[in-house]
Copies of this chain bind each other. A is one copy, B any other.
Amino acid sequence: MTRLIACNQPVQANCDTCTVRSRALFGNIEDKNVRWTQGYRDKHRHIKMGDVIFHELETINYAFTLYSGCLILYKTSISGEMQILRIALPGDFIGFKRNSKSQAVYGVQAATDARICCFSDTTIKTMVKEQLPIAQRLIDLQSHESVLCQEYLFNLGQKSAKESIAYLLMDLYTRIKIQTPEYFDKESGIVHFPINQDDISSASGLTKVHVSRIITAFRNEKLIECGHKKLKIINESTMSEIAEFNIDLIKNPFSHFS
């Protein structure tokens, strides 16, 4: 409930043509064939930390690829409690899922400044029709996302607070190293960690007070070091064990088509 830092007005698009290669949607397109994808890119937008890209149940007609930064996908209950569904990093494809009225099934807020590249629904439809690799890619992307969501479901359903938080830390730490290598300092092993304890509580279904206690315990056990938006996992193997964390699922996403 505390995440809405500053509910700025809806972000206006700025219409630069993207030049950055989308890792996700065009990830299976060979470099030499990537030229045609240019024609499909709609709008490039800069998002500021705290901005809401769209709210839950806002009617939308586009999806987008995250180029840089970190976004939080969440749902809110009637009582106002927020559940973080996913923490998105560069390359992730967002906003494709809707309800029957084409409303977003989750809200999206920027945890850091971010850049995105939008694709209108009609563009996506055209791409799927005209470019088989895009259709195949979309199938793989959606099904991979579903696998990860099931993993999170398992976390919440079966794991203790300690295990669940360990998973969350390992998951995001690992994905940052892969998807945002510029936020990872190889020397020190420290990553720039874009979320705070309150966010961790919204993702794990625990209270921030309890999250604090458990993080402190991890620190005392010398498993992690962390400070302001910084995280270092000192003992990755122990943390992985506690979390029942399977790095393969993140490092080597399955593909039916490539």
Q: In the complex, how many angstroms separate the beta carbon of A246 from the nearest chain B beta carbon?
A: 8
B149–A153 touching, CB < 8 Å: yes
Bits for A96-124, please: 1 = Cβ < 8 Å to B, else 0: 11111010011000000000000001001
A98–B146 touching, CB < 8 Å: no
Which residues of B have CB within 8 Å of A99?
A: 147, 246, 248-249, 252, 254
B81–A124 touching, CB < 8 Å: no
Which residues of B have CB within 8 Å of A249?
A: 99-100, 105
A125 to B132, CA, bound (A): 11
A78 within 8 A of B: yes
A244–B78 touching, CB < 8 Å: yes
A258 to B157, CA, bound (A): 35
How many chain A residues have a CB neighbour from B under 8 Å?
Answer: 52
Q: In the complex, how many angstroms separate the beta carbon of A73 from the nearest chain B beta carbon?
A: 8
Q: How many copies does the complex hold?
A: 2
Contact among B100, B124, B157 with A253 in the assembled complex (CB-CB below 8 Å): B100
Q: Which of the segments A3-11, A137-145, A180-188 contacts the partner chain? A: A137-145
B83–A252 touching, CB < 8 Å: no
B102–A154 touching, CB < 8 Å: no
- Residues of A135-194 contacting chain B, CB below 8 A: 135-136, 138-139, 142-147, 149-150, 152-154, 156-159
A256 within 8 A of B: yes
A143–B257 touching, CB < 8 Å: no
- Residues of A30-49 contacting chain B, CB below 8 A: none
Which residues of B have CB within 8 Å of A96?
A: 143, 256
A128–B136 touching, CB < 8 Å: yes
A145 to B256, CA, bound (A): 17
Contact among B85, B121, B147 with A97 in the assembled complex (CB-CB below 8 Å): B147
Residue in A99, A154, A159, A246 whose Cβ sees the most chain B Cβ within 10 Å: A154
Which residues of B have CB within 8 Å of A128?
A: 132, 135-136, 139, 257
A150–B75 touching, CB < 8 Å: yes
Q: In the complex, how many angstroms separate the beta carbon of A101 from the nearest chain B beta carbon?
A: 8
A-B contact pairs, 7 of them (CB 8 A): A75-B154, A96-B143, A96-B256, A100-B254, A135-B136, A138-B139, A146-B146
